[in-house]
Amino acid sequence: MASVCNSTTTLKTPFTSSTSSLASTPKPGQLFLHGKRNQTFKVSCKVSNNDQNQNVETNSVDRRNVLLGLGGLYGVANAIPLASATPIPSPDLKSCGRAIISEGPPVPYSCCPPKPDDLDKVPYYRIPSTSKLRVRQPAHAVDEEYIAKYNLAISKMRELDKTDPSNPLGFKQQANIHCAYCNGAYIIGGKELQVHNSWLFFPFHRWYLYFYERILGTLIDDPTFALPYWNWDHPKGMRLPPMFSRKGTALYDERRNQTAIANGAVMDLGSYGDEVQTTELQKMTNNLTLMYRQMVTNAPCPLLFFGAPYVLGNNVEAPGTIENIPHIPVHIWVGTVRGSTLPGGGTSYGEDMGNFYSAGLDPVFYCHHGNVDRMWNEWKAIGGKRRDLSEKDWLNSEFFFYDEHKNPYRVKVRDCLDTKTMGYDFAPMPTPWRNFKPKRKTTSGKVNTAALPPASQVFPLAKMDKNISFSIDRPATSRTQQDKNEQEEMLTFTGIKYDNRQYIRFDVYLNVDKNVNPDELDKAEFAGSYTSLPHVHRANETEHTANVTFQLAITELLEDMSLEDEKTIAVTLVPRKGGEGISVEGVKIDLAAC
């Protein structure tokens, strides 16, 4: 697997094999946080979804097979080298068709935007100059005056749905932007356009909120109006902001999981539908641990944070760390439970927040993504190699939006890299997760590996229906610092198969036995998680089996647990969701260039 931590800026592809090493380059973790090297997670995904009814270009990769893990970036087989790629253009509105509800029927209405008079003459947007920055505040700390102004703005936007339904500034028309871009309405290069699970995720949503915010300000004649951000990375913000719970206001949405969010409940940033049975304090601790892993440990390199390249003809599905967790879990936590009865009748597909087609119908969506957008800035502020991508195929990717005056524009990624240049900033809040590296240990000493079955007796594993512990040999012991700088020690699970229409999650621990408490993530032994979300499928598809390879870098964990000199270590798999449907072909530990 090629390096995604390479210090050079010319990166042909992170998905093709490479013999290069970083012998002369410090590992990213050595460049920040007091010089302490930090663990990086890497995951690779080999896609085996075969849809005989879909026209897939030669050497391209179908985006339906998703691999989500605490690692961030993924190596995918058969990807086209970026040297031959083309950036994603603005979608052709003439090709916009019916969107599909994830794991459901077609969306019962059109998500396509109003078409400009001349599609071929839509200009590129130029960011206007501003004398005063719009400052986004943490949602839990705003005052009543702001809440009243915010309610008024959303009310005026909702009113346009009644008086002028085709107005691109209307509430539903704005929500449809997300539906069209995320649920298969647009076709580019013969494939459905999807702005999730790739490096398009952050810039698309930044531009989306930029215009949404300016529209709200125009509706209330306040050019300084700024959206709030849901500060879920801080304990004070780990609940649904109270202003969204006021029934009868424009900010309220009845299609939420009222049980999960009731009475100011603390959220679970790793939620995949099941409630964690633990204290509020432990939930907050877990959340801060996840934030540290996603922002610091697992994202020392740009592609790990932003996600895999997405270019014309090469639709590889591989999200960055924050898109994976906590972005998706927050959506699931707020939305209704799939299969439940919606208010007013009908079966839930996770509406509103829990399904991409409907997420924009809940005002809290934009507050949630306000903090996602803020994480982009916070990540770059950590330092080291944390900087924007320099790939031209990313910088020149395009989107289509209407501005606050109903004028259509095309925008480029390269123009949204600096929020102050775009005319807004974030009110500062502490980031306690930056110093929340897990140190507490479950096991005081070393697990007796002789008492555990070797990996050769456990794998192939037919199903992961319970906690499973095994011993496994390492390829080398007592490695020098130079050895570690050149090669990462990788724990690799091969041939992981499951029904990709289901929620999937399992956790991986080192040096613990099968009695580990999975509800406490703030442990040094916690290596990472494999997770997968249900995919959008067309009605004629019959193959739903994912086949993936999952890798975790374990060098730092071995250091933290004083296991560097051990020839054999203990590994424990803990199923969290859908384990009875997960099989694993094999496991190994080897050394690989970062």
Taking alpha carbons only, the member of 314, 296, 307 closest to residue 191 is 314
Give CA–CA dist 453/570, Å, rounded: 10
Structure tokens at 328: 């998706």
**Helix%, strand%, coil% for the chain, nearest 5:** 30, 15, 55
Name the E strands within 307-359.
Answer: 310-311, 314-315
Identified catalytic residue from 140, 178, 234, 368: 178
Residues 6+ positions from 135 with CB-CB distance below 8 Å: 226, 424, 425, 426, 427
Beta bridge pairs of residue 43: 74
DSSP string, 534-583: PPP--TT----EEEEEEEEE-HHHHHHTT-TT-SEEEEEEEEEESGGG-B
Identified catalytic residue from 140, 327, 535, 537: 327
Taking alpha carbons only, the member of 309, 298, 316 closest to residue 488 is 298
Active site residue 178: yes
Structure tokens at 267: 């959220």
Identified catalytic residue from 211, 356, 365, 400: 356
State the DSSP H helix or E strand holding residue 175, giving kind and residue range, or none if neither: helix 171-182
Give CA–CA dist 532/52, Å, rounded: 23
Structure tokens at 231: 């500060």
Identified catalytic residue from 41, 140, 171, 196: 196
Active site residue 140: no
Identified catalytic residue from 41, 204, 205, 526: 205
Active site residue 331: yes
Taking alpha carbons only, the member of 197, 29, 204 closest to residue 594 is 29
Taking alpha carbons only, the member of 77, 81, 104, 95 closest to residue 1 is 77
Active site residue 234: no
Residues 6+ positions from 294 with CB-CB distance below 8 Å: 70, 72, 321, 322, 324, 325, 326
Looking only at the bridges linking them, the beta strands covering 504-510 and 468-473 are unpaired
Taking alpha carbons only, the member of 487, 456, 435 closest to residue 568 is 456
| Cβ 90 vs Cβ 120: under 8 Å | no
What are the two backbone dihedrals, phi and then psi, of residue 507, each rounded to the nearest 5 degrees? -105, 155
Degrees to nearest 5, angle at CA 322 with 319 and 324: 50
Residue labelled with tokens 């998703």: 66
Active site residue 405: no
Active site residue 356: yes
Identified catalytic residue from 331, 368, 535, 537: 331
Active site residue 205: yes
Q: How far is CA 233 from the centre of its chain?
A: 15
Identified catalytic residue from 140, 234, 368, 369: 369
- Residues classed as catalytic: 178, 196, 205, 327, 331, 356, 369
